[in-house]
Amino acid sequence: MRASPYVWHRRTHRGSIARIARESYLRPGLVGESVATQITAVSCTHAVLFDPASLLSALTALDDLGRWPDPPAVLLCRSVVESLAVLGDGVQWARARRLWMKAIESSECRFIAIENVFDSLVWRQRRPGQSQADSTRENIESVRVMLERLVPDIPVIIVDDIAAYLSEWQHDDEMVRSALVAVQSSQIRPTRADLFPEHWSLDRMTAALAKGAALRGRVKVSRNRRDCIVHTNRGGVMVSHAKMNRAMDGDVVVVELADSTDDPIADVVDESVDDEEFSEEEEGRSSEAEDEDVVSPVGVVGQGRVVGIWSRSWRPYVGSVKPENEDERRVLFIPMNRKIPQIRIFSRRPAELIGQRLIVMVDAWDRSSRFPTGHVVRYLGTSGDVDVETMAILNEHGIEQEPYVAEQWKDELPSAHEWHVTADDERERRDLRQSHFECYLVDELNLAFILPTFLPLRINMLPEVLSENLCSLHAGVDRLAVSVLWIMNSDGTVESNPWFGRTIIRSRYALSYAEAQSIVDGKPLPEARKSGQTEMLEPLKALLGFGRRLRADRMRAGALEIESFEVRYDVKAERSDIALEGPEDLEFHEIVAEFMIAANSAVAEHIWEAFPGHALLRVHRSPDEERFNDLQRLVAAAGGHLDPSSNKSVAESLHQLASRRRDDPIVAKIVKSLTARVLTEAQLLHSFYVTYSSICRYYRSSVVA
């Protein structure tokens, strides 16, 4: 190992270039075998090495490498990545670092980090008189020669001409090319006059924040985009569209209050952009959109203008392009989210984008452009198709339906047909299959098929073989479980401490809530479900009695019950009579919940006794007093009185309201549902807190499982 000087440069916050010198300790063989192993592990037809200029142009397209027609293994040399600290701006340098960290942290991705500056076999020190470009090229070529010797079956290509590479290796793919065109176009400085003021530098923003001359906060845009509010630590600052200065919904920005220096350019933006842009976007939309403004004047400390962008929150946006093109290569993309402005995208075949649902990423927003520029990252399909629109809704809200398990994991999952309880399971677990404990399953999952749902599909949290089979209870099938067992007498009194442990169970019957309720009420079941109805009657009655006792004890102790309330509207054919209907109330809904609550409480007490200093806690902060005042007025308007002094008093107040409004029970249900909004969200003081319910649905079930 020998030391060698290594010098690189980076741009400071003030825009100057800083020279950073350090020693690099060189040793042979650091890169070769390890990189060759990673390349062969990736399923690819070729590998690419970028020079600094080509890497800078390809950064945006590399974010969607998995969607390329023939995705290569991307080899990132440290010397090339670090050169982007000078060649690129702050956003590009951040993207390059993100790719580098992705390559380091994951051995399964297509990005491979090459520490070429520390390997004496490939690193070439810059010679006196040699240009930086020639030195960089020499080091890249050195890496290529070494890898071609170690991985002869996979060609290693140095990309210095993006267009030629796309044409030869990526079938001249439109999506990849549009991303490159968008980046290149954003780097070309237009000759048009500036429409927006220049953003403050980071140093200027930091100094203004320190002096209190400016505020920092997150932007929340109104639905019609005519204004926004910036939420700061001193309150909200109202900003008109003319003063937003290219800020988008979710960005963290720095704002200057209105009594500061006037901004003459903003007045130009107000006259030249607002009317035309909004007339285009709001044409054909209901005027009620202005009434749906999410910006509230409550807590606003004043008006201001955006002077700088602290951090962007750009994400993939779903939408469609306008039928009319700006020209033969540029089209305007209209996002589904009205808070987002139109996005200009570049395409060689814009006509093919018409009528399609697209996902677009924003690349930049220049001062001289009315709209940000972006590129297409994915085609969802034809607008109007049910499946396409469903995927559009899911993607717009950050839900991507991807295969849950990687292909290489599928062999590790058990087969639903071959899985069985092993001899080790029988030896290590308590076997309840043949005991006097009869497992009558009331399957709450059946409700998912009874209640209407908007999306015509379900996305599993876990692979189907687990969520729908091995971790789901079925009649007459062995399953592994974690159980809490009590011994209770006939009146529901618990006679012993609960037992906790791993068990083997076999459910005798699978019932929906409605079927269990019908058996207890003496109502007939459908012919196909009558088998075992007589046998189940007495056990279900006993279960009902035990649950009632648990519920009564909990209510006497001052438990507060709140619940969500789902309603549906029954519109008659003539549309003159609209009925508001809620879900059917079944006592078994409450009874099953009681046993789940009892199990949770028993587990919590057991953990507390075993680990009094390290128990897992779930804490609810005290509700906001102002919200309680609103709830009190609501209860009074419904004909009741709310006493917020304790959980028990609130519960009694809600019970009294329900008794008074028996003629209209939906009113009490709505009030009880709105009570949940007054309470604060639970704070879990340990990342592995889990409720004692269906274990397979909680992927952080380390404690229970």
Predicted confidence at residue 272, as pLDDT, reads 40
Predicted confidence at residue 261, as pLDDT, reads 46
Q: Which CATH number fits domain 2-172: 3.30.2020, 2.60.40, 3.30.70, 3.40.50?
A: 3.40.50
Predicted confidence at residue 571, as pLDDT, reads 55
Predicted confidence at residue 264, as pLDDT, reads 41
Ramachandran angles phi, psi of 183, nearest 5°:
-65, -45
CB 441 within 8 A of CB 473: yes
pLDDT single digits (tens) 513-566: 888 888 888 888 777 677 777 777 888 888 888 888 888 888 888 777 776 666
Calpha distance 620→685 (Å, rounded): 11
Give the count of beta carbons closer than 10 Å to the beta carbon of residue 369.
18
Distances (CA, A) of 344 to 57, 321, 328, 641: 18, 9, 13, 56
Distances (CA, A) of 31 to 1, 106, 252: 14, 17, 40
CB 465 within 8 A of CB 416: yes
Q: Where along the chain do its domains lie?
A: 2-172, 193-284+291-383, 423-571+583-595, 598-697
3-state class (DSSP) for residue 159: strand
Report percent pLDDT > 70 for the chain: 71
CATH architecture of 193-284+291-383: Beta Barrel (2.40)
Calpha distance 379→448 (Å, rounded): 31
Predicted confidence at residue 318, as pLDDT, reads 94
pLDDT single digits (tens) 413-447: 777 778 888 999 999 999 988 765 555 555 443 33
3-state secondary structure 188-206: CCCCCCCCCCCCCCHHHHH
Calpha distance 248→314 (Å, rounded): 8
Interior/surface letters 146-174, b for 16+ CB within 10 angstroms, e for the rest: bbeebbeebebbbbeebeebbeebbeebb
Question: For the chain, how many helices (H) and strands (E)?
Answer: 20, 24
Predicted confidence at residue 320, as pLDDT, reads 92
CA-wise closest residue to 308 among 385, 270, 252: 252
Calpha distance 49→480 (Å, rounded): 51
Calpha distance 267→240 (Å, rounded): 11
Predicted confidence at residue 583, as pLDDT, reads 62
Predicted confidence at residue 260, as pLDDT, reads 47
Ramachandran angles phi, psi of 297, nearest 5°:
-75, -10
**Residues in contact with 512: Cβ distance below 8 Å, sequence separation at least 6, in sequence order:** 442, 443, 446, 447, 450
Calpha distance 393→344 (Å, rounded): 22
CA-wise closest residue to 35 among 99, 82, 124, 104: 104
Predicted confidence at residue 697, as pLDDT, reads 43
Ramachandran angles phi, psi of 50, nearest 5°:
-95, 140
Predicted confidence at residue 705, as pLDDT, reads 31
Report yes or no on whether pTM surpasses 0.75: no
Predicted confidence at residue 249, as pLDDT, reads 92
pLDDT single digits (tens) 110-140: 888 888 888 888 888 877 887 777 888 888 8
Interior/surface letters 534-548, b for 16+ CB within 10 angstroms, e for the rest: eebeeebeebbebbe
Ranges of the chain with pLDDT below 50: 188-190, 260-298, 406, 443-453, 573, 687-688, 690, 692, 694-705
Predicted confidence at residue 555, as pLDDT, reads 83
> Which residue spans within 271-316 are E strands per DSSP?
300-311
- CA dihedral of 435, 438, 444, 449, whole degrees rounded to 10: 110
- CA dihedral of 87, 91, 95, 101, whole degrees rounded to 10: 100
Calpha distance 690→505 (Å, rounded): 22
